[in-house]
């Protein structure tokens, strides 16, 4: 990220899921210079130990900060619940925004008091998720539905859509059996298949995604950042990087964002001996 009058936002996720948040940020802040890192070398993060996730988030955030990010957006529910406290402690003067399952708005929106939280195992086992449920359930039944493998299936759907279709069908049956009328999409990958899941659930179940709320939070923090007046004379850049398989991110960005730009391979020091590219 070069020195520019555009506000500079660094975004990272375990893979393509953060594109759902990037899309909302671009809509709200069209004059922002964005850099997106997909950690495709290690996707998914949902089943990994908390210490590993914190270390990886620290490495990715550090790279973005070193390259000039005014704000770092952790576009991953697992990364946020496991690591954002450590990131804020490491860089106390840096703006950070994370994404968390929208328990509070889901409970408020539910008509029958039954809510399902779809998330990775890592997010569901986090203390932060349990705190959100305890604080905001307000008497509602909150079913925590682990979705192991779903993020992987979304990543691979371009090449083989059948595993994704089978998983979504099974998830829809579980949600229907629960009687819930509101579903929290607790992983940034999941909004990418929200239309398909909605079609299986029918109009009586509403899906809740927090991407727009996250984008509003990003905008509010950048409003308080000095000397970041957008320059109207040139289009803001969007830089996309992947720690492996850049062509897969390029394909996903074209599909979900309509962005056809090149994706750069990012090799971090800890990845040098991985043997994957």
Look at strands 33-38 and 238-242 and give their pairing.
Answer: parallel
Residue 76: active-site member: yes
81 annotated among ligand-binding-site residues? no
List the one residue out of 159, 158, 150 whose CA is nearest residue 255.
Answer: 158
* Helix pair 19-28, 246-257: axis angle to 10 deg: 50
User: Considering 25, 76, 97, 214, which one is annotated as catalytic?
Assistant: 76
13 annotated among ligand-binding-site residues? yes
List the one residue out of 177, 168, 170 whose CA is nearest residue 143.
Answer: 177
78 annotated among ligand-binding-site residues? yes
243 annotated among ligand-binding-site residues? no
Residue 187: active-site member: yes
Between the CA atoms of 214, 220, 223 and 224, what dihedral angle is there, to the nearest 10 degrees? -110
40 annotated among ligand-binding-site residues? no
Alpha-carbon Rg for the chain in angstroms = 18
User: Considering 29, 157, 187, 208, which one is annotated as catalytic?
Assistant: 187
225 annotated among ligand-binding-site residues? no
Spatial neighbors of 55 by CB under 8 A, at least 6 apart, are: none
* Residues flagged as binding site: 13-14, 77-78, 188-189
* Residues flagged as binding site for substrate: 13-14, 77-78, 188-189
Active site residues: 76, 187
């Amino acid at each position: 990220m070069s020195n520019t009058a555009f506000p500079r936002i660094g975004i990272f996720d375990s893979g393509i899921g953060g594109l759902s948040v990037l899309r909302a940020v671009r809509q709200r802040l069209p004059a922002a210079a964005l850099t997106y890192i997909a950690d495709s070398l290690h996707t998914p993060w949902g089943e990994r130990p908390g210490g590993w996730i914190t270390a990886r988030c620290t490495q990715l955030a550090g790279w973005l900060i070193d390259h000039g990010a005014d704000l770092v957006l952790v576009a991953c529910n697992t990364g946020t619940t496991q690591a954002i406290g450590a990131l804020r402690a490491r860089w106390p003067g840096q703006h950070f925004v994370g994404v968390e399952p929208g328990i509070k708005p889901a409970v408020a929106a539910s008509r029958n008091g039954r809510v399902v939280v779809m998330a990775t195992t890592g997010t569901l086992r986090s203390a932060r998720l349990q705190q959100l449920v305890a604080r905001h359930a307000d008497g509602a039944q909150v079913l925590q539905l682990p979705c192991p493998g779903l993020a992987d299936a979304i990543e691979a759907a371009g090449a083989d859509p059948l595993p994704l279709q089978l998983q979504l069908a099974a998830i829809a049956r579980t949600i229907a059996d629960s009687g819930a009328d509101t579903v929290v999409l607790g992983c940034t990958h999941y909004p990418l298949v929200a239309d398909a899941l909605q079609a299986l659930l029918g109009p009586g179940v509403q899906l809740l995604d927090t991407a727009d709320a996250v984008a509003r939070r990003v905008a509010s923090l950048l409003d308080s950042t000095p000397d970041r007046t957008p320059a109207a004379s040139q289009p803001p850049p969007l830089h996309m990087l992947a720690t492996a398989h850049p062509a897969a991110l390029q394909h996903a960005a074209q599909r979900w964002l309509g962005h056809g730009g090149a994706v750069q391979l990012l090799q971090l020091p800890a990845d040098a001996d991985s043997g994957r590219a």
